[in-house]
Amino acid sequence: MAEKYIALSEEQSGYGTYTQLNDRICLKILNESIHTTREDHFPETAEYWTPSDYVRGPFRAGGDISILVDPKQFPKLLVLHLGDPSTTTLLSNTVYQHVFTYGGTESVSTTGIKSFTIIKGTGVEKDRQFNGGIITNLTVEARAREPVAATVSVVGNGDELLITASSANYVAYSGQRYMTFADATTMTVGGTDRLTTAPVIESFTIELPRGYDTDHYRLGSPYMADQSLHGVAVPTGTMDFGFKSQDEHERFLGMVGATETGPQSGHIMVLTLRGDLISSGYYNQITFSIPETYYTASENAVNARDRIVDVVSYRGNYHLLSGHAVQITVINTTSSYTALNNSL
């Protein structure tokens, strides 16, 4: 029976090559916008006022997937976008820690950044298959009063097929709840707690973009060529602070306590989202750590008698001692992410 769903399957046999149906990550999506475009040629010759010739051109695919963040399925997207984590056991056969890093010396490989096939069920007749998928950006948003959400931006090589419709398997979601804004147990900026100390943080977003040459085609194929990294990877984001203290605006000027614009020192930011108890004091948990952060904007507009909110924009740099620009640490019950399927 045809269903509405999105599934991702790692292309273990090579870029643009679909593997097997059971090695799929079925995502409970809020919405998506994945589609194929074609760039056919219609040569404008001197023959008529309106072109009369058609030449097949290249194809490409892509769009966004919106999901809520949970402690077991969401990390599978990190495996595709950031590479295999470093995994350690915290409690035998029960609790595991997975450390992902971004902004270091990544590469596209079987253990690094991975390509995948996208399966899209629309609930009508056949499912749509998009080959050669890569994640170009991953955005996570933790906003007050809302569940923590993520937007996954993908690009496909343009090869789309209609395949026999199948059912989504959501077994990995069993027993797991989504993370919410209230799950934030740690939010420090430059070592200062911003959950309780003014200016108190009200929202946090982070974007992890990845550069690819999406105009990389080769002779003999209308589809994008095997992808390699292109350009730089710079984490960015925004934070909203209740403007009861000017400390974070002062940090934007140069440092806390500054009264004039000047040189800025990098600072560490850490956000921890803690979910349900697993066992023996261990919780489902996701921690975002940016070891060298710089503010790029601080806007605290006055609108009549409305409450003032300081909207701060930031970026992360590569931190030499840490060896990365962002570290994401996940604690859950999954023992390994070396195989990406619905049973994990």
Q: Could you read off the pLDDT of 167-177 as tens digits, one per residue?
A: 888 888 888 89
Position 51 in a domain: no
The answer to whether residue 304 scores a pLDDT higher than 70 is yes
Instruction: Give the mean pLDDT of 253-282.
Output: 91
The answer to whether residue 289 scores a pLDDT higher than 90 is yes
Name residue 209's amino acid.
P
* Both structure tokens of 260: 């004039």
The answer to whether residue 341 scores a pLDDT higher than 80 is no
Can you give the pLDDT at residue 243?
A: 93
Position 166 in a domain: yes
Position 115 in a domain: yes
Position with higher pLDDT, 21 vs 306: 306
Position with higher pLDDT, 196 vs 231: 196
Can you give the pLDDT at residue 229?
A: 84
Can you give the pLDDT at residue 17?
A: 83
Rounded to an integer, what distance in angstroms lies between the CA atom of residue 112 and that of residue 135?
13
Distance of CA 205 to the CA centre of its chain: 11
For the four alpha carbons of 208, 211, 212 and 213, in that order, the dihedral sign comes to: positive
3-state secondary structure of 77: helix
Position 207 in a domain: yes
Can you give the pLDDT at residue 109?
A: 82
Pairs from 261-266 (Cβ < 8 Å, separation ≥ 24): 264/294, 264/295, 266/292, 266/293, 266/294, 266/317, 266/319
CA dist 252 → 30, 236, 257, 258, 266 (Å)? 35, 15, 10, 9, 10
The answer to whether residue 19 scores a pLDDT higher than 80 is no
Instruction: Give the mean pLDDT of 146-150.
Output: 95
Contact by Cβ (8 Å): 164, 125? no
Can you give the pLDDT at residue 343?
A: 55
Rounded to an integer, what distance in angstroms lies between the CA atom of residue 288 and that of residue 218?
38
Characterize the bridge pairing of strands 95-102 and 326-332: antiparallel
Report percent pLDDT > 90 for the chain: 70
Can you give the pLDDT at residue 80?
A: 94
Contact by Cβ (8 Å): 318, 238? no
Position 312 in a domain: yes
Can you give the pLDDT at residue 286?
A: 97
The answer to whether residue 337 scores a pLDDT higher than 90 is no
Can you give the pLDDT at residue 323?
A: 93
Contact by Cβ (8 Å): 118, 230? no
Instruction: Give the mean pLDDT of 235-260.
Output: 92
Position 341 in a domain: no
Residue 212 belongs to what H/E stretch?
none
Residue-wise DSSP of 228-243 = -B-S----EEEEEEES
Rounded to an integer, what distance in angstroms lies between the CA atom of residue 235 and that of residue 267?
14
Can you give the pLDDT at residue 226?
A: 86
3-state secondary structure of 292: strand
Can you give the pLDDT at residue 215?
A: 85
The answer to whether residue 111 scores a pLDDT higher than 90 is no
pTM for the model stands at: 0.93
CB atoms closer than 10 angstroms to residue 74: 24
* Both structure tokens of 44: 């404008």
pLDDT band at 344 (very low <50, low <70, confident <90, very high): low
pLDDT band at 214 (very low <50, low <70, confident <90, very high): confident
pLDDT band at 123 (very low <50, low <70, confident <90, very high): confident
Position 303 in a domain: yes
Can you give the pLDDT at residue 1?
A: 59
Number of domains present in the structure of the chain:
1
The answer to whether residue 222 scores a pLDDT higher than 60 is yes
Name residue 67's amino acid.
I
* Both structure tokens of 293: 């952060």
Name residue 283's amino acid.
Y
Instruction: Give the mean pLDDT of 131-160.
Output: 95
Average pLDDT, the chain: 91
The answer to whether residue 22 scores a pLDDT higher than 80 is no
Range of the domain at 85: 4-37+60-332
Can you give the pLDDT at residue 236?
A: 97
Name residue 194's amino acid.
R
CA angle 211, 213, 217 (to 5 degrees): 160
Distance of CA 204 to the CA centre of its chain: 14
Position 47 in a domain: no
Rounded to an integer, what distance in angstroms lies between the CA atom of residue 255 and that of residue 99?
30
The string over 106-132, giving b where at least 16 C-beta atoms fall within 10 Å of a residue's C-beta and e elsewhere, is bebeeeebbbbbbbbbeeeeebbbbbb
Instruction: Give the mean pLDDT of 307-315.
Output: 94
- What are the tens digits of pLDDT across the range 87-106? 999 999 899 999 999 998 88
